[in-house]
């Protein structure tokens, strides 16, 4: 089951948690509103995961979403979804994550203009080769990568604790909106849900699990619970370390937090974590 949990968590935790908090903070007026928005996003995603868990338990199939749509609306709807996921959604996501990895790794290694696309191509080719070697190897790689991502987000949370002990910066409104402003609240929630997206692809593993009916349900629920807890921890750390205005103004809140907590070494470490997160998400897409 924990392999499926790793795939679920890997599909959700991507570069979004390292960028979306700035937009969310810029559109909400208090720290409490920010944390409530992330908790609400987690609760809604958990509700969706429960729905998918029920369908995956009732109709276990490697097709996941495709299988559900095909049974509900016929082969045409299933084909259109499968085609769009193969040709656009997953392909585009892989390319984007490859460039995120290339940008961070290239900056860390000091590579030239061709460094980013070269790293992206090498990473995608290497992950494809690993998954071609078999599902077990691909999932084993996923579990190992998720361990590193998990440790990285815990380090972000610890950074918030370190700075909180040194004295919390005063919180001030991070943007022109507040929770009573529908436009700004809507914008904040869009980026919250973007950061939580991807969990549904874990349903493709339902037919691969020994306990098809209960295994996928437990994996989806456990995965979303872990993601929600990590996201709340990370956002609490951002707010404790940088303040609401600081999070809203930052282009890379995790890097800024780790720089303040642990110096340049901490900043370099979180850049490496972002790169590993991109690899984890790419591998989860290939498995799905």
Q: Report the alpha-carbon distance of residue 33 to residue 123 in Å, rounded.
A: 38
Q: Residue for token digits 């338990």?
A: 57
Contact 197, 12 (CB under 8 A): yes
Q: Report the alpha-carbon distance of residue 273 to residue 186 in Å, rounded.
A: 29
Q: What is the mean pLDDT of residues 205-228?
A: 74
Q: Is 177 left (phi over 0), alpha (psi -120 to 50) or beta?
A: beta
pLDDT of residue 173: 46
The more confidently predicted of residues 3 and 265 is 265
**205 burial type by CB count under 10 A (0-12 exposed, 13-18 middle, 19+ buried):** buried
Contact 48, 227 (CB under 8 A): no
Residue spans of alpha helices (H) in 167-211: 182-196
Helices and strands: H and E segment counts in the chain: 12, 0
202: confidence class by pLDDT, cuts 50, 70, 90: low
Residue 121's contacts (CB-CB under 8 Å, 6 or more residues apart) are 98
Q: Which token pair is 204? A: 């493709």
Asked if residue 64 has pLDDT above 70, the reply is yes
Diameter of the chain measured on Cα atoms: 60
**CA dist 115 → 7, 279, 282 (Å):** 28, 16, 18
Residue 254's domain spans which residues? Answer: 2-287
For residue 208, give the CATH number of its domain.
1.20.1740.10
171: confidence class by pLDDT, cuts 50, 70, 90: very low
The pTM of this model reads: 0.80
Q: Please state the domain count of the chain.
A: 1
What would the pLDDT profile of 77-123 be if each residue is shown by its tens digit?
A: 989 988 888 888 888 878 878 877 887 777 677 777 787 788 889 98
**247 burial type by CB count under 10 A (0-12 exposed, 13-18 middle, 19+ buried):** buried
Nearest by Cα to 265 from 255, 276, 253:
255
Residue 239's contacts (CB-CB under 8 Å, 6 or more residues apart) are 25, 31, 34, 35, 160, 171, 247
User: In residues, how long is the chain?
Assistant: 288
Q: What is the mean pLDDT of residues 212-230?
A: 80
Residue 242's contacts (CB-CB under 8 Å, 6 or more residues apart) are 169, 250, 253, 256, 257, 260
Q: Which token pair is 119? A: 């790293």
Q: Report the alpha-carbon distance of residue 109 to residue 131 in Å, rounded.
A: 27
Q: Report the alpha-carbon distance of residue 148 to residue 241 in Å, rounded.
A: 22
Nearest by Cα to 99 from 89, 109, 114, 84:
114
What would the pLDDT profile of 237-273 be if each residue is shown by its tens digit?
A: 999 888 888 888 887 888 888 888 888 888 888 888 8
Residue spans of alpha helices (H) in 17-89: 20-27, 31-58, 65-73, 75-84
């Amino acid at each position: 089951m924990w392999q499926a949990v790793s795939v679920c968590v890997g599909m959700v935790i991507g570069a979004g948690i390292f960028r979306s908090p700035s937009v969310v903070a810029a559109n909400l007026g208090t720290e409490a509103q920010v944390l409530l928005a992330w908790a609400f996003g987690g609760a809604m995603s958990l509700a969706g995961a429960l729905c998918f868990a029920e369908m995956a338990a009732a109709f276990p199939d490697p097709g996941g979403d495709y299988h559900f749509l095909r049974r509900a609306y016929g082969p045409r709807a299933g084909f259109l979804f499968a085609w769009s996921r193969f040709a656009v959604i997953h392909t585009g996501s892989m390319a984007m994550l490859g460039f995120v990895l290339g940008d961070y790794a290239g900056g860390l290694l000091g590579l030239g203009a061709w460094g980013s696309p070269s790293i992206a191509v090498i990473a995608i080719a290497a992950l494809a080769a690993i998954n071609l070697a078999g599902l077990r190897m691909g999932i084993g790689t996923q579990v190992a990568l998720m361990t590193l991502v998990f440790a990285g987000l815990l380090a972000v949370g610890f950074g918030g604790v370190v700075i909180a002990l040194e004295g919390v910066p005063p919180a001030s409104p991070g943007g022109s909106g507040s929770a009573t402003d529908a436009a700004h609240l809507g914008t904040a929630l869009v980026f919250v849900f973007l950061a939580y997206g991807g969990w549904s692809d874990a349903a493709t593993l339902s037919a691969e699990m020994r306990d098809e009916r209960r295994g996928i349900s437990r994996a989806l629920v456990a995965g979303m619970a872990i993601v929600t807890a990590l996201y709340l921890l990370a956002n609490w750390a951002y707010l404790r370390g940088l303040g609401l205005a600081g999070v809203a103004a930052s282009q890379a809140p995790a890097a800024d937090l780790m720089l303040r907590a642990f110096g340049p070494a901490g900043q370099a470490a979180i850049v490496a974590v972002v790169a590993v997160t991109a690899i984890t998400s790419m591998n989860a897409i290939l498995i799905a």
